[in-house]
Amino acid sequence: MAEAILTRLLASQLYTPNNLLVSEPQTPRRAFLAQTYGVAITDRNQDTLQATEAVLLAIKPQILDKVISQLTLEGVEHYPLILSILAGTPLNRLETAFPNFPVIRVMPNTPATVGAGMTAIAAGTNVQPSHLTLAHTIFEAVGEVVDVPESLMDGVTGLSGSGPGFVALMVEALSDGGVASGLPRAIATKLAVQTVLGTATLIKETGLHPGQLKDNVTSPGGTTIAGVAKLEEKGFRSAVIEAVKAAYRRSQELGK
């Protein structure tokens, strides 16, 4: 995810390579990032605190304490905005780790790689309007941004954070259905991908309720209603709802 954000920040020309510093512990990875993107590289997380605007915290939640233990925060005179994409890590824990820093909890998703991401942000205690503006500017480079209270972040994680995996499974299943109906795999996959993309675009651009769109394409006694009836029989909608709820609960568990 960090590399996806880096790629989009550069592609959008919001930042140039000499405006960015990446901290990476693995030597081969540092060499790859420097060669591929031309950004400055360090193996010292402490160096990132010299940032004039923001620090993107993009690590596994399980190693947060280890990373914090490597930082010297006493005597810091400048407090850049901390943007955390750590799943399930609440603001109170982040603000304890970074006292006096403005902290924003962020939940992007993988379509950010192609600039079609969905990002939710929740502001911490020390965040000022200018910090929110900066956060929006950064993450609008990778898609759309919404502000939510932190109490909703686990729900965001379950829906848009994990959602791309669920949609990918749906695309794969549609393709499998096409193959089962006699279509070549390549054609079935292309049809499935464009059908999902086109439907999402139609709903987004027209504001049409998904239920209304479903009604519009279900002719009496037709093919679509036959398929919808089978999906209902197999509990499709219930399964998707339960998948989001399961991801939501897992996000809550990670925050404990």
Question: Does one domain contain both 42 and 143?
Answer: yes
Tell whether 197 and 79 lie within a shared domain. no
What pLDDT is recorded for position 73? 83
Final residue of a structural domain among 115, 135, 154: 154
pLDDT attached to residue 72: 85
Q: Following DSSP, what letter does each residue of the chain receive, concatenated?
A: -HHHHHHHHHHTTSS-GGG-EEE-S-HHHHHHHHHHH--EEES-GGGGGG-SSEEEE-S-GGGHHHHHHT---TT----PEEEE--TT--HHHHHHHSTTS-EEEEE--GGGGGT-EEEEEEE-TT--HHHHHHHHHHHHTTEEEEE--GGGHHHHIIIIITHHHHHHHHHHHHHHHHHHTT--HHHHHHHHHHHHHHHHHHHHHH---HHHHHHHT--TTSHHHHHHHHHHHTTHHHHHHHHHHHHHHHHHHHT-
pTM here is 0.86
Structural domain boundaries, residue 85? 2-154
Length of the chain: 256
Q: What is the pLDDT of residue 94?
A: 94
pLDDT in the model for residue 252? 85
Let me know whether 121 and 229 are in one domain: no
Residue 123 and residue 81 share a domain? yes
In the block, residue with structure tokens 């006096």 = 100
Tokens of 18: 């000499």
Do 139 and 19 share a structural domain? yes
CATH of the domain at 83: 3.40.50.720
- pLDDT score for 88: 82
104 in the same domain as 181:
no
Same domain, 55 and 181: no
- In 3D space, the residue among 159, 144, 150 whose CA is nearest the CA of residue 112 turns out to be 144
In this structure, what CATH number is given to the domain that contains residue 181?
1.10.3730.10
Q: Which of 199-233 are b and which e, b meaning 16 or more Cβ less than 10 Å from the residue's Cβ?
A: eeeeeeeeeeeeeeeeeeebeeeeeeeeebeeeee
Q: Are 39 and 20 in contact (CB under 8 A)?
A: yes
Q: Which residues of the chain have pLDDT under 50?
A: none
Instruction: Tell me what pLDDT residue 191 has.
Output: 98
For the chain, the domain total comes to 2
**Structure tokens, 103:** 């902290």
Pull the structure tokens for residue 149. 């209270």
Nearest of 22, 100, 9 to residue 57 by alpha carbon = 22
pLDDT of residue 137: 94
Question: Which of 113, 128, 154 is the endpoint of a domain?
Answer: 154
Among residues 119, 154, 189, the one where a domain terminates is 154
Query: Do residues 110 and 167 share a domain?
Result: no
Q: 33 and 129, same structural domain?
A: yes
pLDDT score at 215: 95
